[in-house]
Amino acid sequence: MYDFSAFTHPATWISLLTLTFMEIVLGIDNIIFISIIVNRLAKEKQARGRTIGLLLALLFRIGLLLSISWIVSLRTPLFTVNIPSFVNNFGVTGRDLILLAGGLFLMYKSTTEIHTKLQGDEEDEGGSGTGASMMSVILQIIVIDIVFSFDSILTAVGLVDNVLVMIAAVIVAMGIMLAFSGVIANFVNNNPTIKMLALSFLIMIGFMLVMEAAHKEVEKGYLYFAMAFSLTVEILNLRLRKKAKSKPVHLRDSQYD
């Protein structure tokens, strides 16, 4: 059923490395969302919540890869919307509905997280979370995993035509993300400005999903460049603030005269 002999060709390994890199890039926003949501759990449950969330993402991706024909069928219009002077013969597909629901959910959740953070009752000083139930957190992770999985798989289908290569790339990428998810989560949660920046970008990603549902393609390269640039500036600000705090204060000699 599947062609394992493809792995004997150097081109297959190049495709595997390329796709693995793409999966990691596309998975960063998923890790950030999971890290922020899981932070609402009790501290001792957060690592387990992140692991469960990423393993669910892996299962969704593999399941979707094994259902390529069904994914392709999601591009077939389910019904047509015709609004005079606004939309003419707009074919709404299953993919559009999934992206629309996921984008709206991501914008809503990110906005409420920002509101909660500004209110100051997100978590206690020890960062032990609010004691949210594991089930409620997992359900939210499942919703966003489904949306991000579709985005990831549609990208994979456009790059590689061998399902085994896609599955291998997804497994390798998810293994790398599992290894570094704790570091990313701690970095985001321990730096309030980084966390606010991450939430803002999640709103942008949600808006991008809504635009794609409306058949308005947004060049993701611009979005990722903006994210990388803003993150670089914020890291420089963190280093500057850290340096300012560690710099000793010298009192003028005249104060002791």
Separation of alpha carbons 73 and 99, rounded Å: 15
Q: How far apart are CA 111 and CA 116, in angstroms?
A: 9
Please tell me the distance from the alpha carbon of residue 163 to that of residue 175, in angstroms, as a whole number: 18
Which of 226, 52, 254 minimizes the C-alpha distance to 139?
A: 52
- Taking the C-alpha atoms of residue 41 and residue 52, their distance in angstroms, rounded to an integer, is 13
Give the DSSP H/E element, type plus range, for residue 141: helix 134-159
Give 17-67 pLDDT, tens digit per residue: 888 887 777 777 778 888 888 887 888 888 888 888 888 888 888 887 777
pLDDT, one tens digit per residue, over 60-115 is 888 877 776 677 677 778 877 776 655 566 778 888 888 888 889 888 888 988 88
Whether 82 contacts 89, CB under 8 Å: yes
Out of 15-29, 106-120, 191-205, 229-243, least confident range: 15-29
CA distance 138 to 236: 34
Q: Coil, helix or strand for 1?
A: coil
